Chain A
Amino acid sequence: MIEFRLPALGADMDEGVLLEWKIGPGDRVARGQVVAVVDTSKAAVDVECWQEGTVAELLAQPGERLKVGAPLAHLLEPGEAATPKVGAGGTASGRRAISPAARRLAAQYGIEADTLAGSGPQGAVTLEDVERARAAQPVAAPQPTDRSAAIRQTIAAAMTRSKREIPHYYVAEDICLGRALDWLGAYNRDRPLTARVLPAALLLKAVAVTLMAYPELNGTYRDGVFRPSPTINLGVAIALRQGGLVAPALLEAETMPLDTLMRALADLVARARAGTLKAAELGSGSVTVTNLGDTGSQAVFGVIYPPQVALIGFGRSVERPWVEDGRIVVRPVVSASLAADHRVSDGHRGALFLRDLADRLQRPEELKP
């Protein structure tokens, strides 16, 4: 028997509301299949199941508020036979009997349905029980009703945790983008708009490839232990138009050719804005990049997204005087910064990383494959 649990949805999202099941009892589930849609404060998230099997029982009802790690469904492993249920009325997981409507209403009121006394058959919790509990509740703190307020709260929680727990250090480097932008301009010249590659994608590719030699900047720190990530799951900070931001990851960005990375980035931005991200994208970032782009400030020093250990920031690229071969020339220059976790790495390594990144951006043609 496989217990399918609500996967991590990113450091700042520790719970979600089940919106919809995409599967039902008896359905076969393939690895990676989207099985449910869960609403977090930031977006509706498609939740994938990474185990193969047949659905034996759904444990959660639409409308229910669930913590990360909460059991969602029981799946039979391939070849496993269904076991008969123990007794009628009770559930295999030993949870309280409660009607879906009552559970939904309880979730709406912010009441823990499983803590209520049931007056229905076999102690089942009914709608009346929920209404009674609601009437007995002291006036609760106002719940954030609009999404912007909820997003603000989750960002506040994650960033407060980051600044409380992570001893940040910061290093910065000005990087000349003259060669990179010339090369990209030539690369784009004869391409249709739909195949165009933005400087943002080139910067992301350069970061991903450079990080491969710096495992201490790519991974997660939990319970006093740093775990480097075998792949570069590159989180990308994306501003949402209603305010706030979300940082879903381009999984295995180091393996993507530049064109692929650009299309994946465009897709990720579009889905972040539309609120249709996947759980794996929100929960498995190993490092994050924030790029203020050409309408932002000149430099940015980021706050690390826990449990990650590093954040790379790019400011707006501007034309500046630059010394090349002993002469002063005008070049587009971007300020790159690294905020990293001093429990895992030191400023010396961080500085080496930025220098390596700068060197790599002087050979943009190598970033294409």
Chain B
Amino acid sequence: MTNENLRADVIAALQTVAPEIEPAALAADRPLRRQVDLDSMDWLNFLIALGKRFTVEIPESEAARLVTLDDIVAWLAARRPPP
């Protein structure tokens, strides 16, 4: 899976909590929560959706580092199984 595909999947997970977002309008290097206006419950649900979609455990200590779209894609890319 390329990073482009990863990104599309992350956005799909995001759309489960914020269906109205315009993917093209997202700045990948800026904090995602504020761009999409997600409260703490939405953000938690987004992380849970990510965990399910990519079948990864996101530990509490790591969750705090996932701030931008780029962060999330990089974090997931580092954890995907080798081809």
- A: residues with CB less than 8 A from B are 185, 188-194, 196, 198-200, 239, 241-242, 265-266, 269-270, 293-295
Contact = CB atoms under 8 A, between A and B. Distances in A.
Contact of B45 (A191, A239, A266): A266
A185 B60 CA distance: 8
Contacts of B44: 193, 196, 198, 266
A200 B45 CA distance: 14
B31 to A, nearest CB: 10
Contacts of B47: 193
Contacts, number: 43
A308 to B, nearest CB: 22
Contacts of A193: 44, 47-48, 51, 57-58, 60, 63
Interface string B4-46: 0000000000000011100000000000011001111100110
The list of the 6 closest CB pairs from A to B, nearest first, reads A293-B39, A269-B41, A198-B40, A188-B60, A193-B48, A189-B60
B57 A294 contact: no
B61 interface: yes
A100 to B, nearest CB: 34
A16 B35 CA distance: 35
A174 B50 CA distance: 36
A263 to B, nearest CB: 12
Name the residue in B37, B44, B45 with the highest tally of chain A Cβ atoms < 10 Å from its Cβ.
B44
A189 B63 CA distance: 11
Interface SS, A side: helix
A189 B60 CA distance: 6
Contacts of A293: 39-40
5 contacts: A189-B60, A193-B60, A193-B63, A198-B44, A270-B45
A241 B18 contact: yes
Contact of A241 (B20, B57, B58): B20
Nearest to B34: A295
Nearest to B50: A193
B57 to A, nearest CB: 7
Nearest to B61: A189
A361 to B, nearest CB: 17
B37 A295 contact: yes
Nearest to B38: A295
A196 B39 contact: no
Name the residue in B19, B34, B38, B60 with the highest tally of chain A Cβ atoms < 10 Å from its Cβ.
B60
Contacts of B63: 193
A196 B60 contact: yes
Nearest to B33: A295
A317 to B, nearest CB: 11
B48 A198 contact: no
Contacts of A242: 20
Nearest to B47: A193
A191 B37 CA distance: 26
Contacts of A241: 18-20
A244 B51 CA distance: 30
B13 to A, nearest CB: 13
Given A193-B58, A198-B41, A266-B45, 4 more contacts: A194-B48, A198-B44, A266-B41, A295-B33
A192 B55 CA distance: 13
A260 to B, nearest CB: 16
A206 B40 CA distance: 18
B60 A199 contact: no
Nearest to A198: B40
A187 B44 CA distance: 16
A295 B39 contact: yes
A191 B60 contact: yes
A191 B47 CA distance: 14
Contacts of A189: 60-61
Contacts of B38: 295
